[in-house]
Amino acid sequence: MEQVQPVRIGLVGYGNGGRFYHAPLIVAAAGCELAGVVTRSAERRGELERDHPGTSAYDDLAHLASAGVDAVAISTPADTHVPLVLEAISLGLPVVCDKPFAPQSAAARQALAEAERSGVLLTVYQNRRYDADLLTVRAVIGSGKLGRVIRLESRIEQHLPPGGIPASSAGILLDMGPHAVDQALLLFGPVTSVYAELDDAGGRPDRFFIALRHADGVVSHLLGDRVLHGAPGPRFRVFGTVASYDVDAFDGQADDLMAGGSPTASGDAWGVVPRERWGRLHTGDTTRPWPSERGDWTAFYTSFAKAVRGQGAVPVDPQDAVAGLEVLEAADRSAATGQAIALGDSAMR
């Protein structure tokens, strides 16, 4: 049997995103190889050599492409995403774009249209579709134990000390919002109206509340907070006509990666949630633990590699990311006006 060669993926950017949230997952994902990194920083090049000895560094995307990579992942500041995606498309390279796909939905649509015209694969790095907690929420809903789902509550909260928000930050709506909105759209589909509030918690909006009304009648309440004081609230609460489910925390993949861990080092233990952190199903006066699914962000890159080889669809349809940006733009308008914003047909696809 002929051995299939791994998809050689180049990475553009080696800041925290590229170094911790992409490179270790590309290395660990089945069918993938980290083939090179674009970074001009001497400090970043030193980190790359320590983290992945022998991996070549390049000055720009053109030089990376000329080295013979099969695909590229973009992990750079948000305002550079679309130009780099368009450059990758012009080079014929299948491309993964980190979130947010673009600062505005119009630019994201432009990139998507160019990818479709050129016949180049494009996907967006919504890695939190592969969180243990979200996968478990989907399993609970799919089981029918909740009855008809009425409402979702989703919280993404963390504490960043003063000065902890990088100067290149796209703002809390584009930093945390793409994950929360993408998960809600994945669970319950298109949105017909958006209401939002932004809390100026430290000289800039650092908290949001977004209420989405989905076309199927479910209401999603999404909360983001990056100046959290005290313990975070439940990560998810899902309410149905028969029962409810809640879970407290992320699955630990992000913390493990930022601490220098990796799926390669952890092996079968990666993404496994211990029993004491399982969520709970509440039916009447009865509460019981619900076993957690295993989280695994490497699944994104494994799926992407298969798509590059013509063996399936990309892991995230880029149109989903465009729809998410349209929701976030509506949230921004709602927060500015104090009014709920109705979404048109373009956001309903």
Q: What pLDDT, on a 0 to 100 scale, did the predictor assign at position 348?
A: 43
- In the predicted model, what is the mean pLDDT of residues 196-220? 87
Instruction: Provide CB contacts within 8 A for 68, sequence distance 6+.
Output: 8, 35
Mean residue pLDDT across the chain: 92
Q: Say whether pLDDT at 160 is over 90.
A: no
- In the predicted model, what is the mean pLDDT of residues 163-176? 66
Portion of the chain with pLDDT greater than 70, in percent: 92
- The set of long-range contacts for 37-46, using a CB threshold of 8 Å and a minimum separation of 24, is 37/10, 37/11, 37/12, 37/13, 37/64, 38/10, 38/11, 38/12, 38/13, 38/14, 38/63, 38/64, 39/13, 39/14, 41/14, 44/14, 44/15, 44/19, 45/14
Correct CATH for 128-296+327-347 of 3.30.930.10, 3.30.360.10, 3.40.1110.10, 3.40.50.170: 3.30.360.10
The reply to whether domains 7-127+300-317 and 128-296+327-347 share a CATH topology is: no
User: 124-139: per-residue pLDDT in tens?
Assistant: 999 999 999 999 999 9
pLDDT band at residue 345 using 50, 70 and 90 as cut-offs: low
Q: What pLDDT, on a 0 to 100 scale, did the predictor assign at position 167?
A: 43
Q: pTM for the full model?
A: 0.93
What's the rounded Cα separation, in Å, for the pair 26 and 12?
Answer: 13
Q: Say whether pLDDT at 346 is over 70.
A: no
What's the rounded Cα separation, in Å, for the pair 186 and 172?
Answer: 21
What residue ranges do the domains of the chain occupy?
7-127+300-317, 128-296+327-347
Q: What pLDDT, on a 0 to 100 scale, did the predictor assign at position 168?
A: 46
User: 284-342: per-residue pLDDT in tens?
Assistant: 999 999 999 999 999 999 999 999 999 999 999 999 999 999 999 999 999 999 999 99
Q: Say whether pLDDT at 102 is over 80.
A: yes
User: 258-284: per-residue pLDDT in tens?
Assistant: 999 999 999 999 999 999 999 999 999
- CATH number corresponding to 7-127+300-317: 3.40.50.720
Q: What is the 3-state secondary structure (H, E, C) of the chain?
A: CCCCCCEEEEEECCCHHHHHHHHHHHHHCCCEEEEEEECCCHHHHHHHHHHCCCCCEECCHHHHHHCCCCEEEECCCHHHHHHHHHHHHHCCCCEEEECCCCCCHHHHHHHHHHHHHHCCCEEEECHHHHCHHHHHHHHHHHHCCCCCEEEEEEEEECECCCCCCCCCCCCHHHHCHHHHHHHHHHHHCCEEEEEEEEEECCCCEEEEEEEEEECCCCEEEEEEECECCCCCCCCEEEEECCCEEEECCCCCHHHHHHCCCCHHHHHHHCCCCCHHHCEEEEECCEEEEECCCCCCCHHHHHHHHHHHCCCCCCCCCHHHHHHHHHHHHHHHHHHHHCCCEECCHHHCC
Q: What pLDDT, on a 0 to 100 scale, did the predictor assign at position 169?
A: 54
Q: Provide the β-strand partners of residue 205.
A: 200
- In the predicted model, what is the mean pLDDT of residues 166-176? 71
Q: Say whether pLDDT at 147 is over 90.
A: yes
